[in-house]
Structure 1
């Protein structure tokens, strides 16, 4: 209602300005036209009186005019008895004395304004004709009031029509506002929105619908994450609690080797809990969303992650670039990309036997990490990116099942795609493809070892 009132007020003001301007211009035009007609009438009447007097005739009187003869000495002789005399101005006296030119003067006689015109007579003296402005003033005032009332009525009509039309135009907005208030009050994201049209309001409604759909997906994902997390946390927490209770009941009565085994279980499960909680926080918050995408050298990022893994685990990590399709700068968030590569390498370490190398193949905007594990069955190639997914052959492998899910979320957020397959010769090949940033990119650091091989 407030928006409708404001827009109606704007429409009324705009209409008032436009109509007032049009009325003012019309009034001035009519006023000028009436003034011109009065001047022509005064001039024609004066010419007629001069002609009749020159012919020895007396012109018939008119109620709206005063006509008189002015002698060269300034004496006045009214042509119509009983009518008030016009004061003789110096200009009129000059015309009567010289018999040349004419004099046009406005004056007030008996509280009535007259326009006077003085012209010389052929035999000497002059004729002075005064025309009353009373009728013209009355007509002018009537026209002014009529224009004012007409303008006011038109403005009111425009405001009324604007109010009614805006009520119909803004009806979808009111329906949308009611729906959004209901959603805000009930927190029910499934509340239907009004039907969207093809205009701007329809576009706004569709935008709200897309936003609600995104919120519903986000809420569903959050609920699923909480359910999955509670399920995954239950197993290590149960193990930690059981081991702690066993130590509490035994109170030093356990054999040293049994006590050592229980403590090892506690440390292992606690470390698993720490990794799980860290990855849950990473997955739920996505701390890298504040980064802006930029040109990132995929080969440099891969070498950095490989070097960290070598130092941390001592494993052999090969970075292999495709000579037929050299790596190109990709459009990505730098820290998010580094996190993806770290997760892929950590996943490969879990499934590769000790002492076997891990290889990263890079070509264009594609990066693939190959391990020496059991590979991935065709039915699992999409499921491995689901949260907490553990395949039949990897149930005994430590981990939370979140690493590849984080890779999926971060890569797709940067308009990339992920893949997982079984490599030729055994083992799994898991990676992603990111869109190229452009022709240019950051310079690669020198002095690092490179392994080049066609993919």
Structure 2
């Protein structure tokens, strides 16, 4: 659970910070207490030496033990009823030499003392011992208090982290719940929870963008299925009717009628084959795995025009006007030009010329057909669209839709206009690309001035 994990991380970080602060504070207090004990011991030793030099007896203190040490090691206690301090070698050396000082930590009857031995002016030395019992109590009290405070702070930080993270992660829980509902019901119309401006809000908006794309994709798929079923129904009905007629007649038909029915079957089957092929291309976009590259539009137009000249025997001219290299998927772009020329051949009367014009980053194909009405110039790129003037012409109405999808996927635009003197001009404009190198020996089409400005 994300909330638990984040809370655990927050509490662990807080525990580490508090433990480090507690250790540093404890060491600082311990050093401070130790320094105060040393200064107190030195002050007491100086006071005792001055009082003994003046033949005065120092007043007793509960936490102190004093004694006079002679040069021969004899000890005289100055604190009535106080403990007798052991005599370390350093203290005896000070008493005999009358110089220096000696410090030592001693344990007497289970109580630890810090001792300081200093020489007396008349010989011998005085040893002052300070009990560490009070300092130990302070040290223990501080340690327990710091530990308790740290534990309470950790508990409070864990509670606050849990509550605050619950509020922060509420949009994530709502998003998870909504996406789970969408996954279970496959209802893409379900609205996602409102998004904020932070990282979680950006995540929610990314999900919304993805969901919008899925909705659009599903709608397009449904529309494609509906349009395809409608377009397939007519040729299938014709094929079925012709086949049933042949089945019922069983050789009793006039040869001319039988030949006509067989011709209809072949024609409708070919139309079905073309329609299915274009549907597959449109639905799968088999060229999406291509990497965009710099494409020479003039060379592409010349190669495509040559294939169509050989195939159809039509006059197809390629003209140029300041051509530029474009960036697109080469095979997909070739399919676009193929479709444009196939349309032009199909709608142009026999014997009329077809022109492919490359200007800048654009390519346009002009035919001499029935033309395109101003109100249809956007609709011709819709799937299965057939204008009133082209209803009797064979075709699926998918060629320009494929052109539109390929060109727009590469960041370009498509256009369709009427042409002077009749016919239509259909083409596209693509984004700029790196300069393309024309292979040696390639034919160069004659340049012709056109009214269309360079895109």
Fold shared, TM-score > 0.5 on shorter chain? yes
1:443 aligned residue: 437
Q: Show CA shifts across 1:199-219 (max 9, x none).
A: 222222222222222111111
Secondary structure of the residue aligned to 2:68 is strand
Q: Show CA shifts across 1:170-215 (max 9, x none).
A: 1111111111111111111111111222222222222222222211
CA RMSD of aligned residues (A): 1.3
Secondary structure of the residue aligned to 1:435 is coil
Deviation at 1:294, TM superposition (A): 2.4
Query: How is 1:371-390 mapped onto 2 (pairs within 5 angstroms)?
Result: 371-390=367-386
Distance 2:104 2:314 in 1: 115
Secondary structure of the residue aligned to 1:452 is coil
Structure 1 runs of 4+ aligned residues shifted over 6 Å read: none
| 2:27 is aligned with 1:28 | yes
Distance 1:398 1:160 in 2: 75
| 2:287 is aligned with 1:288 | yes
Distance 1:161 1:118 in 2: 56
Distance 1:299 1:454 in 2: 15
Secondary structure of the residue aligned to 2:105 is strand
Deviation at 1:447, TM superposition (A): 2.1
Query: How is 1:31-430 mapped onto 2 (pairs within 5 angstroms)?
Result: 31-322=30-321, 326-430=322-426
| 2:453 is aligned with 1:454 | no
Distance 1:257 1:112 in 2: 132
Secondary structure of the residue aligned to 2:288 is helix
Deviation at 1:85, TM superposition (A): 1.4
Deviation at 1:65, TM superposition (A): 1.6
Secondary structure of the residue aligned to 1:264 is helix
Distance 2:50 2:372 in 1: 123
Secondary structure of the residue aligned to 1:451 is coil
Q: Show CA shifts across 1:342-389 (max 9, x none).
A: 111111110112222221111111110111111111111011011101
Q: Show CA shifts across 1:314-366 (max 9, x none).
A: 322222111xxx12121212222111111111111101122222211111111
Deviates more, 1:296-305 or 1:169-178: 296-305
Secondary structure of the residue aligned to 2:287 is helix
Deviation at 1:151, TM superposition (A): 1.0
Deviation at 1:451, TM superposition (A): 2.2
Distance 2:303 2:35 in 1: 94
Aligned pair count? 449
Task: Please report the TM-score for the alignment, with normalisation by the length of structure 2.
Answer: 0.96
Deviation at 1:59, TM superposition (A): 0.7
Secondary structure of the residue aligned to 1:290 is coil
Distance 1:201 1:300 in 2: 50
Task: Please report the TM-score for the alignment, with normalisation by the length of structure 1.
Answer: 0.96
Secondary structure of the residue aligned to 1:315 is coil
Deviation at 1:291, TM superposition (A): 2.1
The gaps in structure 1 that reach 5 residues or longer are none
Q: Show CA shifts across 1:48-69 (max 9, x none).
A: 1111111101111112121111
Distance 1:22 1:150 in 2: 12
Distance 1:258 1:443 in 2: 57
Distance 2:353 2:422 in 1: 13
